[in-house]
Amino acid sequence: MSTTRTEQFSIGRVVERAFGAFAGNFVAFAVIAVIFVALPTAAVAWVQREFLAAASGATPGLGMFGSPVGWAESLGIQLFHLAMGAAAQAAIIYGVTTSLAGRKADLGEMLSKGLANWWPIVLISICVAVMSFLGYIALFVPGIMLAIRWMVSVPAQVMESRGVFASMGRSAELTKGHRWSIFGLLIVSVLILLAIELVVGLVIAPGVAFMRALNSGAFQLVAAPVLSLVITPLFAAGVASLYFELRSTKEGVDVDQLASVFD
C-alpha cells in the first residue's frame, strides 16, 4: 500500500462523492433506511409519546411505561433503534464504496456484505456516543473534538475489520491533521441537512398540520421517519466518502483497493 500523498484533503470532493453515491443508489438506500431506520424511528416515537402520556396520567392503561420495567423496555427499544441505525450505516457504506469504484451494488449484496461486522459497529456507535456525550457534559468543545476524532470509526470497521477500539484508534489516526477541515465539513453538512429538513418540511407540511390538528404528538410518527429516508443514507454516504478521502490523501489508496476487501 502506498504511503505517498497524491493530493490535498478536499471538502468539495467529499460532498461531491457523497451526493453522487446517494443519487446513484437512492432506491436501494431508501429501502435500507425504511427497514432499519424509518420503521424503528416511528416505533420509538410512538413509545415515547405513550410514555409521556402515561406519565401525565392521560392513558392509565399504559402505566407500565412509568414503572422500572417500563423504563427498561423503553431503553431496550432505544438500543434496538441504535442497532438498526448501525446496520443501515454498514450496508450503505458498502454500497457507497462499490459505487465509488464504478460498480453498482444490489440490495442483497449491501445487506449481506455490509452487515458482516454489524455487532462491532453497534458497540462502536455506543462507545462513540457515550464518550462524546461525556465530552459535551465536561465542556462542549471537547465533545465536538471527540466526535470528529472518531468520525470514521464505522467505515474503518466495515472496511478493515479491526475490532471496536482498534477501529476507533484507526479513525483517530486517519483524522489527525485534518480535524479542522473535518469540522468545516461538519458545518457544511449541518447547513445541507437543515436545507433538506426545510424542503421536506415544506413538502409534508399539509399532512403534518392535519395530524397536529388530530393529535399534537402524532406528527412525529410521520415527520421523523420521512426525514430519516434522506438524512440516514446521506449521512452514511458522507462518512464513507470522508473515510475514502482520508485514506486517499494520507495513504494514496484508490477506491478499487478499498472495494477489493469485499471480493
Checking if the pLDDT of 19 tops 80, the result is yes
Averaged pLDDT, 101-114: 80
d(CA 221, CA 241): 31
Each residue of 184-233: pLDDT tens digit? 888 888 888 778 777 766 666 555 555 454 454 555 566 666 777 788 88
Buried b (16+ CB within 10 A) or exposed e, 108-142: ebbbebbbebbebbbbbbebbeebbeebeeeeeeb
Sequence-ordered alpha helix ranges (H) in the chain: 11-24, 26-33, 39-55, 68-100, 107-114, 118-138, 140-149, 153-160, 164-175, 179-214, 220-251, 255-259
Would you say residue 143 lies in a domain?
yes
For all residues of the chain together, what is the average pLDDT?
77
- The boundaries of the domain holding residue 160 are 17-262
Averaged pLDDT, 68-89: 72
Checking if the pLDDT of 113 tops 60, the result is yes
CB atoms within 10 A of CB 150: 23
Would you say residue 144 lies in a domain?
yes
At residue 201, the 3 state secondary structure works out as helix
Checking if the pLDDT of 5 tops 60, the result is no
Checking if the pLDDT of 6 tops 60, the result is no
Each residue of 44-62: pLDDT tens digit? 777 666 666 665 554 444 4
Would you say residue 5 lies in a domain?
no
Would you say residue 171 lies in a domain?
yes
Q: How far is CA 114 from CA 13, 32, 261, in A?
A: 23, 11, 11
Question: Quick one: pLDDT band at residue 161, thresholds 50, 70, 90?
Answer: confident
d(CA 50, CA 261): 45
Would you say residue 1 lies in a domain?
no
d(CA 140, CA 133): 9
Would you say residue 36 lies in a domain?
yes
Would you say residue 3 lies in a domain?
no
Better-predicted residue by pLDDT, 262 or 68: 262
* Domain count along the chain: 1
| pTM score above 0.85 | no
Report CA Rg, the chain: 20
Which cell numbers hold the place of 73? Answer: 423496555
What is the pLDDT at residue 243?
Answer: 93
Would you say residue 214 lies in a domain?
yes
